Amino acid sequence: MAHGPAKGITRWLYTTNHKDIGSMYLWFSFAMFFLGGIFALVIRAELFQPGLQIVEPNFFNQMTTMHGLVMVFGAVMPAFVGLANWMIPMQIGAPDMALPRMNNWSFWILPFAFAMLSSTLFMDGGAPNFGWTFYAPLSTTYAPPSVTFFIFAIHIMGASSIMGAINIIATIVNMRAPGMTYMKMPLFVWTWLITAFLLIAVMPVLAGVVTMMLMDIHFGTSFFDAAGGGDPVLFQHVFWFFGHPEVYIMILPAFGIVSAIIPTFARKPLFGYASMVYATAAIAFLSFVVWAHHMFTVGLPIAGELFFMWATMLIAVPTGVKVFNWVATMFKGAMTFETPMLFSIAFVILFTIGGFSGLMLAIAPADFQYHDTYFVVAHFHYVLVPGAIFSITAGVYYWLPKWCGNMYNETMGKLHFWLAFIGLNVTFFPMHFSGLAGMPRRIPDYNMMFADWNMISSVGAFLFGAAQVLFLYNVIATIIGGKKATDEVWENPEGLEWTVPSPAPYHTFETPPEYK
């Protein structure tokens, strides 16, 4: 076996090393985050004031759709897979991922899939314009021709996710160092184990629903056409059976990251380890029986409506357990507030706010007023941006010194945090108000009564975007140079990854370590 990385570009193209693949995932996701962010800025620029200024309504819809798709499938999911690739083997004391070649395959599908997806922007009829939830029949009978490319892009990126998830499960189940029992695994590993299970369970369902679309579009079937005996709402059921677990796929690994960071900077063991594990499992289980809360207004029978309302509300219980555990971990600790900790604390607060609005949405009668308004947009950006994105950012600051051996610049890190924190709240908090005031989502133009909130949101979005440029600069500067990091990096952090040198050697744990 080779001992160091190969030279030149082929190191990346042909690699089987989990650290290289992890880095590629992370850079890819960063690029997609910027691409999705640019789409978001087009949206925000158009919505800066009432009237049509910058883009056509049809193009606006393409921006909304591509923004959602790129952020969800291109930015957040690959970022978590990247972190999993880097950290899981190091945290469980394994030499690499279980199936290293398949690992590289999972990665390389993504650039192709997203190139294909993005190329639709230049096709006749334009890119997909039916929202990231692509409800039929808008996405079938009434879709632009590029929908076929969209469908196949989903197919192959789904295959990538499934292979990635299988790899992670095999790694965790099979490659733990001796002594690393399940209940001793770091929470990041636990949350990823459960996330991988969710992925394998629901990505095929997504593939199923796009296959049905493909059949309806090109082969004359009538899955989603009432005239032939089908039902457009069938689409929504199948989609959300995937879609709701999908949103937890985007948050469970975040829980894991934050559960690693808070104890380190509180200098106190994580409170309630076991209940954290059970809560994660409970959330994953419940995520399969709540999907129709996205469909409260489609006319479900009353019994269904009640069932899905109560099941959805239940999710607050295990999620609450997690929040309380984090607070209890901080309580009576000896806290310092380095950048990863700042992002984690903001995560806890702002994610909880997003959870609260989620709970309000879960109240079916109230959802009749909230549904498809900016209140929903506010909800999911609060759980996704300070949720998924902040946790990823926290994780990057936390582990970056281990990856590249250099310490990032703390002042710049803090500056990034505060700009992002302020920008984010200025962007997304007003959306609660415009939503409650009655502004529907996915519209390029609106009445003047929503004008003030939108103007504030747009300003915030550009501020938040600028903060991310700082992040990019920070990361590159740290990789190029900076103070050398110690092997432990932080004060007494928990976990095997801190027992190897910084930067982590190309191959770690070729002989498994004995874990306590």
Catalytic residue among 67, 176, 379, 432: 67
Residues 6+ apart with CB under 8 A from 212: 221, 223, 224, 235, 238
Distance CA 108, CA 111 (A): 6
Distance CA 259, CA 344 (A): 9
Check binding of 137 to ligand HEA (CB under 6 A): no
CB of 45 to other proteins, least distance (A): 15
CB of 216 to ligand HEA, least distance (A): 20
**Which of 138, 407, 415, 477 forms a contact with other proteins (CB under 8 A)?**
138
**Residue window 194-233: x/- pattern of binding to other proteins, with contact defined by CB under 8 A:** ------xxxxxx-xxx--x-xx--xxxxxx-xxxxxxxxx
Distance CA 133, CA 78 (A): 19
**Residue window 33-52: x/- pattern of binding to other proteins, with contact defined by CB under 8 A:** -----------------xxx
Residue ranges in 445-474 that form contacts with Cu ion under rule CB under 5 A = none
| Structure tokens, 404 | 């590249």
DSSP H or E run through 341: helix 339-362
**Catalytic-residue membership of 379:** no
Distance CA 3, CA 184 (A): 30
* Contacted entry of Cu ion, other proteins, ligand HEA, none for residue 307, CB cut-off 5 to 8 Å set by kind: none
**Which of 466, 473, 484, 506 forms a contact with ligand HEA (CB under 6 A)?**
466
**Which of 44, 244, 322, 379 forms a contact with Cu ion (CB under 5 A)?**
244
| Packing angle, helices 187-218 and 147-174, rounded to 10 | 150
Q: Which amino acid appears at position 497 of this protein?
A: E
**Which of 30, 48, 73, 130 forms a contact with other proteins (CB under 8 A)?**
130
Residues 6+ apart with CB under 8 A from 110: 25, 28, 74, 78, 157, 160
Task: Report the residue number, 2 or 52, with the smaller CB distance to ligand HEA.
Answer: 52
Residue 262 and residue 93 in contact, taking contact as beta carbons nearer than 8 Å: no
**Catalytic-residue membership of 371:** no
Catalytic residue among 11, 237, 441, 507: 441
**Catalytic-residue membership of 246:** yes
**Residue window 263-302: x/- pattern of binding to other proteins, with contact defined by CB under 8 A:** ---xxxxxxxxxx---------------------xxx-xx
Q: What is the 3-state secondary structure (H, E, C) of 247-290?
A: HHHCCHHHHHHHHHHHHHHHCCCCCCHHHHHHHHHHHHHHHHHC
Catalytic residue among 15, 195, 287, 319: 319
For the beta carbon of residue 115, count every other beta carbon within 10 angstroms.
10
Instruction: Please choose, out of 7-15, 60-68, 236-244, 398-406, the segment that lies near Cu ion by the rule CB under 5 A.
Output: 236-244
Size of the site for other proteins (CB under 8 A): 183
Residue 453 and residue 430 in contact, taking contact as beta carbons nearer than 8 Å: yes
Rg (CA), the chain: 22
**Which of 251, 345, 377, 461 forms a contact with other proteins (CB under 8 A)?**
345
Task: Report the residue number, 95 or 480, with the smaller CB distance to other proteins.
Answer: 95
Q: Which residues bind Cu ion (CB under 5 A)?
A: 244
Q: Which residues are catalytic?
A: 67, 96, 132, 160-161, 244, 246, 248, 259, 293-294, 319, 322, 441
